[in-house]
Structure 1
Amino acid sequence: MGLGSPIPAPGSVRQVLASATPSRNSFARAVADLRGGWAQRQLWAHLGWQDIRQRYRRSVLGPIWITISMAVTAVALGVLYAGLFGNDLSVQLPYILVGFIIWAFISGCISEGSEVFIANEGLIRQLPAPLSVHVYRLVWRQMLFFAHNLIVYVVMLVIFPQQLGWDSLTVFPALLLLGINGAWVALLLGIVTTRFRDLAPITQSVVQLLFFLTPIVWIYDDLLKNAAVAERARLVEFNPLLHFIEIVRQPMLGQEQHLRHWVVVLLITVVGWALTLVALRRYRSRVAYWV
């Protein structure tokens, strides 16, 4: 600024600074939170691993107990539903086992996501870290549980071999989409339930209800073949969890994959993250006061 230039008024200085600094409720701050959380992946990866070690600190088998419990339940239901629907056990049991493995990840992201910020109240108030750190930590922890549960899947492949081909490699982008959606679900639910605490137990009840409404223990294609219930069975297509389950289960079982499941999942991913960014933009700075 030259010597002859007029001195700007205080009001104009504030306007220049305001235009140069992103607002606390701007989308730039929301995106910066997500990027900052990802940049601290060593922190949340370590915390997620410590969560598992802490939970099973005095257990001999550790998180394998979850795998054993899930395997016993899946086998019991597989034998039961195979008899009820008249299916071969080699078809019904792998279907249920893989469904349980995927459902454990989805339900974990929803249930724990509803309390992700409430459970980390101390860290949020004392540790100056992006909110997304706690969400990444949750999703990473669920991924570790998913990896543990794959032991059941490997055993199942030995007992009931599946016709896996190159198409089965699509399970990797499917798992990536599952994790990306788990992040926005946990982030959005975490913000809402932190403000309205009554929604947390409601979320738990809804998750239990969704288990019965989603084809995990019953085979959706079998109902479509039954003329008496085929029309009503098609209503399951409106359940978004059906599509998330199928994009992972079909390649894991070597089944024919359907494009509509991928289209629905991609659409939900875009819409879900758009809504989450809006919520993060408006309420990110208030979470520390709500917890």
Structure 2
Amino acid sequence: MHEITSDSRTFSRAILDLRTGLSQRELWWQLGWQDIKQRYRRSVIGPFWITIATGVQAVAMGLLYSVLLEVELRSFLPHVTVGLIVWAMIQGAIIDGAEVFIKNEGLIKFLPSALSVHVYRLTWRLVLFFGHNMLIYLIMLAIFRPPLGWHSLLAFPAFVLIVLNVVWVIMFFGILATRYRDIYPILNSLTLLLFFMTPIVWTTEGLINRGGEAADRARIVEINPLYHYLEIIRAPMLGNHVDLYHWLIVLGFTAIGWALTFVAMRNYRARVPYWV
């Protein structure tokens, strides 16, 4: 029994779990689609309700905050729209990720599959929701016609990088919140706070242009890592330039996040079925 336990607490077993989960892609593909179908069963337009809700939220917040902050709606509304689309994926990874193993208790106990299958399942579902919300982005492009160029193609590697981060966020917080159930309400409250601390319904440029203390406060946002994640994909999607330091910061947090996740998987992956 001691040999089995020690063998399960190795980095090679953690990597094997991730690789096995990827090889079972047909399983989490189907489960991800099933989640969406079950959630919108008997609905006429199905998951496009999320698209409508996101679009209405973007328009409402764009109109409101453009007046409050005295900024031009033509440039501000696309900023808010893309920000909300990307934020929905980030928020889903944090909040839904914290309950990913708890909600799949039955499958974890009775279905012989890698633990990462449930992580990939949630990631796939978030990607599908992101794809649905891209309809709002296409409508926004047709209306406002931002100056897209070749640099806008950077949005694709940025999206891949964000998905890689979504995987480790779900796995790490999923393990942590399964062991300590107080983590979920903490993350729920923290995510709401981070929403207002991240430039989604406001812009750093607007604060900098005001000068004085407002400009100093704008520089404080650099401490928030989510700002950099948002910037590497939103800027090219709006036809804006992305500074290199945003990419370097995101890559740094990606490496740190995966390192912590591998440690968590090595030490606690085998205990998750007993905690749920």
- Into which bin does the TM-score normalised by the smaller protein fall? over 0.9
Within the candidate set 66, 77, 92, 2:61 is matched to 77
Deviation string 1:252-288 (CA, Å, 9 cap, x unpaired) is 0001111111000000000100000000000011000
- Pair 1:268-2:249 in alignment: no
Matched, 1:189 2:173: yes
Q: Out of 156, 161, 165, which is 2:145 matched to? A: 161
**How much does 1:22 deviate?**
7.6
Aligned to 1:278: 263
Query: Does the 8 A contact of 2:29 with 2:124 survive in 1?
Result: yes
| 8 A contact 1:22–1:28 mirrored in 2 | no
Tell me, in whole angstroms, the C-alpha distance in 1 between the residues paired with 2:179 and 2:6. 25
Letter in 2 for 1:151: L
Partner residue of 1:198 out of 182, 201, 207? 182
Aligned position for 1:213: 197
Secondary structure of the structure 1 residue equivalent to 2:86:
helix
Number of aligned positions between the proteins: 274
Aligned pairs for 1:111-260 within 5 A: 111-228=95-212, 229-260=214-245
Q: CA deviation at 1:82?
A: 1.2
Matched letter for residue 98 of structure 2: S
Take 1:189 and 1:198, find their aligned partners in 2: how far apart are those partners?
Answer: 12
Could you say which residue in structure 2 is the equivalent of 1:9? none
Q: Report if the CA contact (8 A) 2:175-2:268 is conserved.
A: yes
| Aligned residue number for residue 91 of structure 1 | 75
| Contact 1:22 1:29 survives alignment (8 Å) | no
Matches of 1:27 and 1:256 in 2, distance apart? 39
Quote the Cα distance in structure 2 between the aligned partners of 1:231 and 1:87.
19
TM-score normalized by the length of structure 2:
0.97
Name the CA distance, whole Å, in 1 between partners of 2:76 and 2:217: 22
CA displacement at 1:231 relative to structure 2: 1.1
How far, CA to CA, are the matches of 1:265 and 1:224 in structure 2?
Answer: 23
Distance in 2 (CA, whole Å) between partners of 1:251 and 1:224 is: 21
Q: Within 1, Cα distance between the matches of 2:7 and 2:209?
A: 56
Largest Rg, 1 or 2: 1
How far apart in 1 are the matches of 2:149 and 2:221? 28
Which amino acid letter does the alignment assign opposite residue 47 of structure 2?
P
- Cα displacement string for residues 108-166 of structure 1 (whole angstroms, at most 9, x for unaligned residues): 11110000000000000001111100001101100000000000000001110011111
Query: Structure 1, unaligned stretches of length 5 or more?
Result: 1-17
Contact 2:207 2:217 (C-alpha < 8 Å) held by counterparts: no
Distance 2:108 2:88 in 1: 27
Q: Percent identity?
A: 55
Cα displacement string for residues 55-114 of structure 1 (whole angstroms, at most 9, x for unaligned residues): 001110111111111111110111111112222111110000000000000001111000
TM-score by length of 1: 0.92
Counterparts of residues 45-60 of structure 1 (less than 5 Å): 45-60=29-44
User: Which ranges in structure 2 are unaligned for 5 or more consecutive residues?
Assistant: none
The more displaced of 44-53 and 77-86 is 77-86
